[in-house]
Structure 1
Amino acid sequence: MTEADSLTPVKPTESELLVVTGMSGAGRSTAANALEDHGWYVVENLPPQMLGTLTELVARMPQSIPKLAVVIDVRSKELFNDIKAALAGLRAAGVNYRVLFLDADDAVLVRRFEQGRRPHPLQGDGRILDGIAAERDVLKEMKYASDIVVDTTDLNVHALATAVTELFSESGPIVLRLNVMSFGFKYGLPVDANFVADVRFIPNPHWVPQLRPQTGLDEPVREYVLAAAGAGDFVSRYVHALVPVLDGYRRENKHYATIAVGCTGGKHRSVAVTEEIAKRLAQLPGVQVAAHHRDLGRE
């Protein structure tokens, strides 16, 4: 079997179960609405103890409800603490599921609660930040074990709906979606990156006067970057190294990953290398790739 053959998707024959959870204010309701728009049967605010019962009912009629999304929140810590047992029970019963976790920076969550004039469900007599801290503590293991983590810090409701659509709009489960993202180190690391590559070893086009105003999307910059010593070899080896990782993701039922490629400002080197890596990854069977440039256009 070749590396390419090992990435060939296997079509499932059973209902698809998605558990949607995450931080309050991070966009669970928006995600639920987007899923409904694309044919998912969505059940919101389900107590974890009822997860097994609901799944059993759906299993009896897989043709009627082929795609079930269950939204679980943390408004009751006592109920939420049972979710690990509920998910373990599903796994023991042979039910395949995935977990989508929505997160956002504390400052953004505070602003969203203040704009909505709502208290945080766990803040009690304290501040919104107290509720957020308590919720993070309850959810930390859940986030670590999730299959897909989407950071909504920089997403409005429309952008989040689009992201969910890109992830879950297809009929049948997603095989493997890769988001290859360029960024500038001076603006900080992407919080949702599964892999981070540093291409600052490549000579910077910023110091070439005729290239400085252009970006990594322009052919002269692309040629300059990829022709640099070691650049082409790096791209080839990096993509080659990712093949067994992607195969492992599929075995572990993970279907989404973000690969971040950084240079100093996110304008030249990382953009050109991101486009090249995305192009090569897209040639692998069973993989869908999108390239994004987080910091392109920033001063």
Structure 2
Amino acid sequence: MSATSQVVFVTGPSGAGRSTAIHVLEDLGFEAIDNLPMGLVLRLLDGPALRRPLALGLDVRNRDFSTDGFLELLKRLSKRNGLQVTTLYIDCSSEVLLRRFSETRRRHPMAAGASPGEGVARELDLLGPIRDVADTLIDTSSMNVHQLRDEVAHWFAPPGGGPLAISVESFSFKRGLPRGLDMVFDCRFLANPHWQPDLRAADGRDSAVASFVHADPQYLPFFSRVIDLLQSLLPAFRSEGKTHLSVGFGCTGGQHRSVVMAEAVAKALAEAGEQVSIRHREMDRRKPDARPD
């Protein structure tokens, strides 16, 4: 095992966002293994040397999971030289967990024939001692999946060593600025498709809506200057060691103009070789799968 081996245990109550956190760590360059039986962890670490950081998902669904077993595992690994062990606990309030299970109608893994509320209470009680010793705790009670991704990246992205991930987001000013934006652009001066009866029900991903906004004489100069600005700043952000940049485009309803701009900018950056993700907040908030999992 190399002198810089890093292992992150990811745990927390069902429905809090543990699976999402695992996926984010994998995107950050970790080797990710979910639901590995605890009895195999030591055998895994006794094997060939780790070539990259390791993220292991452990929770009550593991067949040999126990609180005492998890704490004992941490104790044994803490005595190993050359191994950095971190416990990431994805937390959530019982009220929000219950609502999430009710919305998806999924059976809680600790409920069996009981109500989801009883399963949530049992699991939170079981995981309490692990929560108390966790190195990093992220509470997703008021987060969506995108905010959770940003938070995990904040804690675990390699400093100055990973690619600069760019997230592009559209939103409605009526609902306030999204959390964590680095740069915000106001698109409300562009021609508004809302006032076109045949376009009102569509959104900015529709080709007819995009064509309408593109036809505004102010669109192309605005788009070009935004791209020029971002491309001029990205090298400076990288040299500073920044690993994530969040850019927002807002309009009145978050459905037309901001979406058109976000789509166009994300596409241009991706075609330039950047690592880009896109989110349309006002559309995502209506989707049941937009919550952490």
Q: Pick the TM interval, shorter chain.
A: 0.5 to 0.7
Q: Which of residues 235, 255, 263 is equivalent to 1:267?
A: 255
Give unpaired runs (5+ residues) of structure 1: 1-13, 43-61, 72-100, 122-138, 144-149
Tell me the amino acid that sits aligned with residue 240 of structure 1: D
Shift of 1:183: 1.1
Letter in 2 for 1:64: L
1:66 to 48, 52, 55: 52
Amino acid at match of 1:67: P
Compared CA separation, residues 110 and 262, structure 1 to 2 (3 A) = farther
Say yes or no: does 1:39 pair with 2:31.
yes
Partner of 2:188: 200
Does residue 235 (structure 1) correspond to residue 237 (structure 2)? The answer is: no
2:44 corresponds in structure 1 to none
Residues 155-234 of structure 1 aligned to structure 2 (within 5 Å): 155=145, 174-234=162-222
Aligned residue identity for 1:177: A
Task: Please tell me whether Structure 1 or Structure 2 has the larger radius of gyration of its CA atoms.
Answer: 2
What secondary structure is seen at the aligned counterpart in 2 of 1:295? helix
Structure 1 stretches (4+) deviating beyond 6 angstroms? Answer: 14-21, 101-104
- After superposition, the C-alpha distances for 1:5-57 in whole angstroms (9 at most, x for unaligned) are xxxxxxxxx96969899xx9995855664447951599xxxxxxxxxxxxxxx
Distance 1:229 1:68 in 2: 51
- Is the CA contact 2:17–2:90 (under 8 Å) kept in the aligned structure 1? no
Distance 1:176 1:247, change over 3 A: same
Displacement of 1:283 in angstroms is 2.5
The counterpart of 1:276, out of the listed 245, 248, 264, is: 264
Identity percentage over the alignment? 32
* Contact map agreement 2:223 2:265 (CA 8 A) in 1: yes
Alignment-mate amino acid for residue 145 of structure 2: L
Deviation at 1:206, TM superposition (A): 0.6
Question: What's the secondary structure of 2:198's corresponding residue?
Answer: coil
Match of 2:234 in 1: 246
Partner of 1:288: 275
SS in 2 for 1:175: coil
User: Which amino acid letter does the alignment assign opposite residue 246 of structure 1?
Assistant: L
Give the C-alpha shift of residue 193 in structure 1.
1.6
**Secondary structure of 1:203's aligned partner:** coil
Change (3 A) 1:231 1:33: closer
Using the alignment, how far apart are the partners of 1:33 and 1:65 within structure 2? 18
| 1:202–1:298 distance in 2 versus 1, CA, 3 Å | farther
2 CA distance for matches of 1:211 and 1:16? 55
Stretches of structure 2 that go unaligned for 5 or more consecutive residues are 35-47, 58-87, 99-116, 129-135, 287-293
For the residue of structure 1 that corresponds to 2:31, the secondary structure is coil
Q: Which moved more, 1:263-272 or 1:253-262?
A: 253-262
State the match for 2:95 in structure 1: 111
Q: Could you report, residue by residue, the CA deviation over 1:77-122 in whole angstroms, capped at 9, with x for unpaired residues?
A: xxxxxxxxxxxxxxxxxxxxxxxx9999xxx75734886445898x
Normalising by structure 2, we get a TM-score of 0.52
Q: CA shift at 1:192, angstroms?
A: 2.4
Count matched residues: 209
CA, structure 1 residues 63+230, in 2 after alignment: closer, same or farther (shift >3 Å)?
A: farther
Change in 2 beyond 3 A, CA 1:244/1:41:
farther
CA contact (8 A) 2:183 2:246 kept: yes
TM-score by length of 1: 0.52
Q: How does 1:53-92 map to 2 (within 5 A)?
A: 64-67=50-53
CA distance in 1, matches of 2:181, 2:51: 33
